[in-house]
Amino acid sequence: MPAVGGPSRPYNRRMSIRWSAFLLPLALFAAAAGAREYALSPGSDVIGEVEVIRAAYEDTFFKLGRRYDVGYDELRHANPGVDPLLPGEGTEIVIPTQYVLPDAPRRGIVLNIPEYRLYYFPEDGGRVITHPIGIGREGWTTPYGRTTVAGKTVKPTWYPPESIREEHAANGDPLPAAVPPGPDNPLGDYALRLGFPSYLIHGTNKPYGVGMRVSHGCIRMYPEDIEALFALVEPGTPVTIINQPYKVGWGEGGLYLEAHRPLAEESEAWTATELTVRFVAATGTRRAEVRWDQADTVLATGNGIPEFVSVEGTITVADLVDEPAAVE
């Protein structure tokens, strides 16, 4: 049975929420809602706002993800209890488009793997562009660390590694030594080669996999997203690949916590201790009192939506505007 009306959700009053119309044509939605570029505000680590829409009869999480530039799992975690394949006409859908910026250098490309999200900080500064990504399956995780964009290719040919060819052959789906450009090429029309050998940020011929664990370690993007990013970056652009399921940052009135589900093979390593480390890194010499009961709730929910976790009145973003942004 499709969900009708959707579950009610208690939103934090500090969260920025915007209701979007749901009768606009799909093409207008793609143009209006697809781009995710935000100005960076002094003293603030929180960008964007949560949107709430009502689904049309034909909507699925795959269609909504493409329309609003969010990933499948992002929508699923933000809307527990809603059928992702048939939400039902009129069902309230949360579009999780508010983000705490990751604790990483704000230059070049930052890939936060458990968040299934890419952040791009242009050289001209003052803004950030963010897109959802598909990531490696269990056993094929993208390596963490710092590298660069080593090259750019339009209409790439895919040369599947021997390990992947063996896997496909074992499943009765043999691959050729080279897959030319075209609709059968899993790299799509654009690819950014990383300094880590054999790893790419690329498009896809299966966009429904964006926001899921579907690849052999490469990063997949919606075709329109990789085309836009491809035009902006050049070889030598720094790339930082991180593992931060919990993000803590400063927003309106104090600290915000955004929690995602750690990767399954790493879930036991992420504990409340790691959360404490994140709070310490975010606060430094800044005064803030944390509602730990609220933080525990956010951690347990893991819905990827930033929540205000400071005690009221401890500090405001206005107190922080003279402090430098967290750049490296």
The residue annotated as part of the active site, out of 77, 131, 202, 260, is 202
Side-chain half-sphere CA neighbours of 69 within 13 A: 24
Alpha-carbon separation of residue 116 from 57, 101, 245, 290, 298 (angstroms): 27, 13, 10, 27, 18
The residue annotated as part of the active site, out of 131, 216, 218, 260, is 218
The beta strand positions in 212-275, using DSSP E, are 213-215, 219-220, 238-242, 246-251, 254-259
202 tagged catalytic: yes
CA distance 198 to 181: 18
260 tagged catalytic: no
Work out the burial of residue 197: count CB atoms within 10 Å of its CB; fewer than 13 is exposed, 13-18 middle, 19 or more buried: exposed
Burial code of 198-227, b = ≥16 C-beta within 10 A, e = fewer?
ebbbbbbeebbbbbbbbbbbbbbbbbbbbe
Spatial CB neighbours of 112, under 8 Å, sequence gap ≥ 6 = 102, 104, 118, 119, 242, 243, 244, 247
Q: Look at residue 167 and give its three-state secondary structure.
A: helix
Q: Where in the sequence numbering do the catalytic residues fall?
A: 202, 218
